[in-house]
Structure 1
Amino acid sequence: MVRPLILARTADPERTRALAAAGVHPLLARLWAARGLECPAPTEWAALIPPDRLSRVDQAGALLADAIQAGKRLLIVADYDCDGATACAVAVRALRAMGAQVDFLVPNRFETGYGLSPAVVELACRHPAGKPDLLITVDNGIASLEGVAAARAAGIEVIVTDHHLPGPALPEALAIVNPNQAGCGFPSKHLAGVGVIFYVMLALRAALRSRGALPPKGEPKLETCADLVALGTVADVVRLDANNRLLVGQGLRRIRQGRMQAGLAALFEVAGRDPARAGTNDLGFALGPRINAAGRMADMSLGIHCLLEDDPDRALELARALDEINRERRARETIMRDEALTHLDTHAQAARAASVCVWQPGWHPGVIGLVASRLKETYWRPALAFAPDDGDTLRGSGRSIPEIHLRDALDLVSKRLPGAILQFGGHAMAAGLTLKTAAFDDFSRQFDAAVRTLGGRESFEPRLDTDGSLETDYLTVETANLLAGQIWGAGFPPPLFQDRFRVLHQRPLKDKHLKLFLERDGLRLDAIWFNHADPLPETIEAVYRLDCNTWGGRSSVQLLIEDARDAA
């Protein structure tokens, strides 16, 4: 594991004072100022960016209203990750509440590939509910030129809702709603796929309202989908700007109040998490992976059915099935990661490289992205992991570090090694590709050269950004709960503190973790360092998070160690 460079964020004093003057807790004022906030961010629905700021959302809403009033069959085409699953659930729930005949179809990662492909259109034409009149993509479709053309050739129109970056050409759909398409002035470019379809449903409700055509039972309350929007937004690791924090905050509020979908309640139960204390960590690291596991290992429709289920008992059955699939995913990931580390440890050339490129026969294609992520964290280099695909090809997934734009690196390799990469796509931090197996060695060398070219160096150093020292008076359960109640995530990272401690006692836990008893300024504290079992010196400089540990009805503050070094 590469040791990180530890740097402290700086909080602008004027911003800190302004936030404190506005009634913000003094510690939160300092933390928020260090993250660029100048005033408290609004959290109520009235502050949501209006739907009409999103290009073509009103057009899509009107087209969907037309389709519902004409009794047309609608089919949602989802993506096979948590963002796609929650987006699908939001669309199906909202459309049914507004009187639509709607069902869903999700591509199979291993058979039809990503997005609305011609193969998916063929499946849609043979759908058990009948051939649809209109397809609505969620969290995909912006690159589906061939798929949209195939749908139209089959007599099916398409509305695309997506948030991924568009290419030079757009599909010929009836409407495209995407905050990142050219000419869209929507201020929040970081909407997840679930956020985009939520906005489309708001526009649809407005269109039906203006026509006096809402269902007789009353106007659908779309805020009941806020828990799904929060889950998909956090799980997709999009930047939590003010608008996304509002959406996530509203969803967490409903979850903490117990007003969530039956499927989410069941997922909290199987994950052993308390929804009354729900935070972004629960969504990102407990619920999200269980939904994602279905798309990685089996069929994402299982995850979508869980999110659509209203019967608590049936939802719990589905959640338990997802939990079992996630256990299988973890076991497979552990085996593959260990095999990758063993391979890299025994190959001197790989140890000297600026990147990581690895594959083994028998690896599962649904898990390679997770393996790449582990390797990137371990070596702090751009990492690609591959699994055998059909015939003589490999399917790869990559994760990168901030210094290297991964898609640009693959584009450079495709130019230097023509014909080796059959297809690729992605963005700065993650990408996927299909590679000829025979070209793997040449590709590995060229990819490493591309990383060196783009990075301008042969090695990279991770960094750990902290919020500096935490006053001893704040080392309390109350502070831990205050911080846990905030909306942290991508682009708005949770606080890390850095302080000096005396190690009073330490012992290994399960031969892989380190349990610690620390002292600072006369205050004794429990701490734990997960996935680190090596003993520490008597005095340490530690980077840590605050956590509330509840056991036997008693709560106490606990430090979660992220890094610790000899204070000397």
Structure 2
Amino acid sequence: ARCASPFDLGFALGPRLNAAGRLEDMALGIECLITDDEGRAWAIAQELNDINLKRREIEADMQGTALLHLDDFEPADASTIAVFDDGWHQGVIGIVASRLKEKFYRPTITFAPAGDGWIKGSGRSIPGFHLRDALDLVSKKVPGLIDKFGGHAMAAGLSIRGDHFDTFAQAFEAVGRAWLTEAQLERVVETDGPLEDDFYSTQFIELLDSQVWGQGFAPPVFCDEFRVVSQRILKDKHLKLLLERNGRRYDAIWFGHTDALGDKARVAFRLDANEYNGVTKVQLLVEHAEPV
């Protein structure tokens, strides 16, 4: 059995433990981690997986509703996003805010009902816009508007009265317009540049995987031009690619993206070792791509 990697912890284990706290009881995830009974751990793991599948369904439904709300949203005309739906689940609004922030590249707050006329918001931000400080300024400019709030630069939460949503959205947008420049509202993908042919290897990937990467010390992202040999959509939501450079071909995948690329593309990517039928091959995890 192989050791768990940071990717496994962040993208496999993490969301399943997290889903229990969002939809049901956080104690379930904690018990799964600390129990000495292997059978009990396996049973809880399966239950956590089922909860996470349910979370994904709820999230997909909420995201679809959010995009309907934002049907005429023009990013060029707005520096922030605030959206509310009375059918949304409090435990999932943060994830939806994160997805919308990634799609539109705007500080985003999504709201769900919290009972007795209150609504609860969860926000995600972009670099250069301190979300908690922005809420602090809104609360000072419009006293009594926000009941309570908290968080940090990139994520924050708050509670307001449901009938004050429009007032909040306008006040939040005013702070966004005052604080954010056009340059800050343009998504920038920072890369480590091209990679020499010999480094497209499982040995080099092992070397990268032996390091500890994280917030403020991200794993390297490389960038180069490739010929797009073939492309297809996987599971209705991912773009599976075969890319060629200097006579060598590489499998690649762009998660959460389905728009086709042209015959030639500039690709920003991370390296991944993908094992299939007992054979390990280099795979490119696409961060961003654009036609050349």
Q: Same fold (TM over 0.5)?
A: yes
SS at match of 1:361: coil
SS at match of 1:498: strand
> CA separation in 1, counterparts of 2:149 and 2:36?
39
2:193 counterpart (465, 468, 475): 468
Q: Closer, same or farther in 2 for the Cα pair 1:492/1:450, shift >3 Å?
A: same
Q: Closer, same or farther in 2 for the Cα pair 1:508/1:308, shift >3 Å?
A: closer
2:169 counterpart (421, 444, 456): 444
Q: Does 1:540 find its partner at 2:282? A: no
SS at match of 1:362: coil
Q: What is the aligned partner in structure 2 of residue 336 from structure 1? A: 62
Contact 1:405 1:427 in 2 (8 A): yes
Q: What amino acid maps onto 1:416 in structure 2?
A: K
1:299 counterpart (19, 25, 40): 25
Q: What amino acid maps onto 1:297 in structure 2?
A: L
Higher mean alpha-carbon deviation, 535-544 vs 306-315, is at 535-544
Q: What is the aligned partner in structure 2 of residue 509 from structure 1? A: 234
Measure how far apart 1:351 and its partner are: 7.0
Cα distance per residue 1:213-246 (max 9 Å; x no partner) = xxxxxxxxxxxxxxxxxxxxxxxxxxxxxxxxxx
Q: What amino acid maps onto 2:65 in structure 1?
A: E
> CA separation in 2, counterparts of 1:560 and 1:407?
32
Which has a greater percent of helix? 1
Measure how far apart 1:528 and its partner are: 2.0
> CA separation in 2, counterparts of 1:504 and 1:415?
56
Measure how far apart 1:514 and its partner are: 2.4
Q: What amino acid maps onto 1:444 in structure 2?
A: A
Q: What is the aligned partner in structure 2 of residue 518 from structure 1? A: 243
> CA separation in 1, counterparts of 2:4 and 2:28?
24
Question: 1:130-149, aligned counterparts within 5 Å?
Answer: none
Q: What amino acid maps onto 2:176 in structure 1?
A: V
> CA separation in 2, counterparts of 1:333 and 1:416?
33
Measure how far apart 1:343 and its partner are: 0.8
Contact 2:229 2:242 in 1 (8 A): yes
> CA separation in 1, counterparts of 2:122 and 2:267?
34
> CA separation in 1, counterparts of 2:82 and 2:25?
28
Cα distance per residue 1:530-562 (max 9 Å; x no partner) = 222333222221111111111111111111222
Q: What is the aligned partner in structure 1 of residue 147 from structure 2? A: 422
Q: Closer, same or farther in 2 for the Cα pair 1:555/1:373, shift >3 Å?
A: same
Cα distance per residue 1:381-414 (max 9 Å; x no partner) = 1100111012111011111111111111111111
Cα distance per residue 1:478-521 (max 9 Å; x no partner) = 22222223211211101110111112222333343222222211
What TM-score does the superposition give when structure 1 sets the normalisation length? 0.50
Q: What is the aligned partner in structure 2 of residue 280 from structure 1? A: 6
Q: Does 1:492 find its partner at 2:217? A: yes
Contact 1:452 1:458 in 2 (8 A): no
Q: What amino acid maps onto 2:71 in structure 1?
A: D
Question: 1:254-333, aligned counterparts within 5 Å?
Answer: 276-333=2-59
> CA separation in 1, counterparts of 2:110 and 2:183?
20
1:388 counterpart (104, 107, 113): 113
Question: 1:120-199, aligned counterparts within 5 Å?
Answer: none
Q: Does 1:361 find its partner at 2:86? A: yes
Contact 2:270 2:286 in 1 (8 A): yes
Q: What is the aligned partner in structure 2 of residue 199 from structure 1? A: none
Which has a greater percent of strand? 2
Q: What is the aligned partner in structure 2 of residue 38 from structure 1? A: none
Q: CA RMSD in A?
A: 1.7
> CA separation in 1, counterparts of 2:58 and 2:250?
36
> CA separation in 1, counterparts of 2:278 and 2:182?
53
Contact 1:354 1:459 in 2 (8 A): no
Q: Closer, same or farther in 2 for the Cα pair 1:511/1:366, shift >3 Å?
A: closer
Q: What amino acid maps onto 1:342 in structure 2?
A: L
SS at match of 2:115: coil
Using CA pairs under 8 Å that are at least 6 residues apart, name the structure with larger relative contact order, 1 or 2. Answer: 1
Q: What amino acid maps onto 1:279 in structure 2?
A: S
Contact 1:344 1:351 in 2 (8 A): no
Q: What is the aligned partner in structure 2 of residue 408 from structure 1? A: 133
Report sequence identity in percent. 52
